[in-house]
Amino acid sequence: MGVFGKGEKSLQTPTATIGIRGTACYIEATAAQVYFCLCYGEAEIRAPGETAILETIATTYHDHPLYLNADRQRMMVPARVINHTDAELILLESLVGRIPPFVGLGYHRY
């Protein structure tokens, strides 16, 4: 799990390259599959070694978790939110003097 400030960052995983901007995300990775939850913010997903964007995601509250598979025929598969909580995001953001954008909006399911 990580929170990132302004500016573009690139996360390399076994099954995808994820470009992120001003966001928080949670990732679990194995060689064959990556679980990726863009908790809030924006991300661009590419296949490893490719420059073409496969999908651009913008979320406000865990709106689009995915499994990113090594099998290109099933590279992006919808997932549910697993293994991370809003409390963890709030704690991480507090360490850098910020509050997650979902705080105060009535969201708090995870």
- Tell me how far apart the alpha carbons of residues 56 and 18 are, in angstroms, rounded to a whole number: 10
Residue 49 is predicted with a pLDDT of 85
What pLDDT is stored for residue 21 in this prediction? 86
Q: What is the pLDDT of residue 69?
A: 95
Per-residue pLDDT, 104: 82
Q: How far apart are CA 71 and CA 88, in angstroms?
A: 31
Q: Which residues, in sequence order, are CB contacts of 70 under 8 Å at separation 6+? A: 14, 15, 31, 32, 33
Element (H, E) at 39: strand 33-46
d(CA 97, CA 104): 16
Cα gap 49→33, rounded to integer Å:
16
pLDDT in the model for residue 22: 80
Helix (H, G, I), strand (E, B) or coil at 73: helix
Each of the 110 residues of the chain gets a pLDDT tens digit; together they read: 988 888 889 999 999 999 998 889 999 999 999 999 999 999 999 998 888 989 999 999 999 999 999 988 899 999 999 999 999 999 999 999 999 998 988 777 78
Number of Cβ within 10 Å of residue 61's Cβ equals: 17
